[in-house]
Amino acid sequence: MTDTPPPSLRDRIAASLRTAAYDCDGCDLTERECDDQHPIQAAVLHHDVITSVYGDIDAIAAAVLAVVQPEIDRLRADLAAVRDRTLTEAAEVLRQATVPAHQTDGLDAAADILDAARDTTS
């Protein structure tokens, strides 16, 4: 049994563009009307696979962004979680290094530093 690796980001972007592309084989609309209704059009097919598209830049950007934005959001969330863990650990180290255990009541400079660090990195 072999595991198939997940498709690369590049492959997912290419698939998104192929899905977004409209392959008009002659409709009742004018070319302009058809382009307006289908802002990404198939330009070249090879063995029934769209290999080239033409279209509106905003529509192409939206098709690419639909794939890339969730990836960016996931990475941002991962980064924020790692940052939070690191800052929390650093704050705890600072707290233990600078405040004797019997003097911790009401003193939470480490938490203030952690909050300040979160504010500057988020």
Residues that bind Zn ion (CB under 5 A): 24, 27, 34
- Our CB check for Zn ion shows the closer of 27 and 72 to be 27
Q: Which is nearer to Zn ion, 33 or 115 (CB)?
A: 33
| Pair of tokens at residue 71 | 């990836």
Closest distance to Zn ion from the beta carbon of 47 (Å) = 22
Q: Which residues of 30-68 are buried (b: 16+ CB within 10 A; e: fewer)?
A: eeeeebeebbbbbeeeeeeebeebebeeebbeebbeebe
Shortest spacing between CB 28 and Zn ion, in angstroms: 8
For residue 41, the Cα-to-chain-centroid distance in whole angstroms is 25
Residue number with CB closer to Zn ion (27 or 77): 27
Alpha-carbon span 3 to 100, nearest angstrom: 53
Least gap, CB of 86 to Zn ion (angstroms): 54
